[in-house]
A = this chain, B = another copy of it.
Amino acid sequence: MKPDFEKGNGLLPVIVQEWETGEVLMLAYTNRQAWEKTLENGQAHFYSRSRKSIWHKGGTSGHVQKIREIRIDCDLDTILYMVDQMGGAACHKGYKSCFFTRVEKDGRFLEHAEKVFDPKEVYNK
């Protein structure tokens, strides 16, 4: 069995979850090539829809994601990476998780997390 890349026109969503805490860190997309690279070298690779290229997560910031376990869903069209997050933060905005915004019952958006790093320090070295 293989992921059903045809179903997503070549791209499938990948949920990234921290192995130790279960916290959901981010969602990104993978294609067949990024999937195979991830299996080969044990670090998360994705397909960047904006840059239209393979993206080694943490290649610039050093915040790589080491794969601990991979799961796939019942329809074979969503992948779950359970990872150790190097550098303590997955989000390019400096937060541990990209899901740092909580939606209140009335629909308001509230940031509820603290930054782990300053993006200017990490990306403009």
Contact = CB atoms under 8 A, between A and B. Distances in A.
A24 interface: yes
A69 B102 contact: yes
A80 interface: yes
Contact of A102 (B26, B70, B91): B70
Interface string A72-115: 11110011100000000001110100111111010101000000
Q: What bracket does the count of chain A residues touching chain B fall in?
A: 35 or more
A116 interface: no
A6 interface: no
A98 B24 CA distance: 16
Contacts of A92: 74
Contacts of A105: 39
A102 B71 contact: yes
Interface of A: 1-2, 13, 15, 17, 21-24, 26-27, 39, 69-75, 78-80, 91-93, 95, 98-103, 105, 107, 109
7 contacts: A13-B13, A21-B22, A22-B23, A26-B73, A74-B98, A74-B101, A79-B103
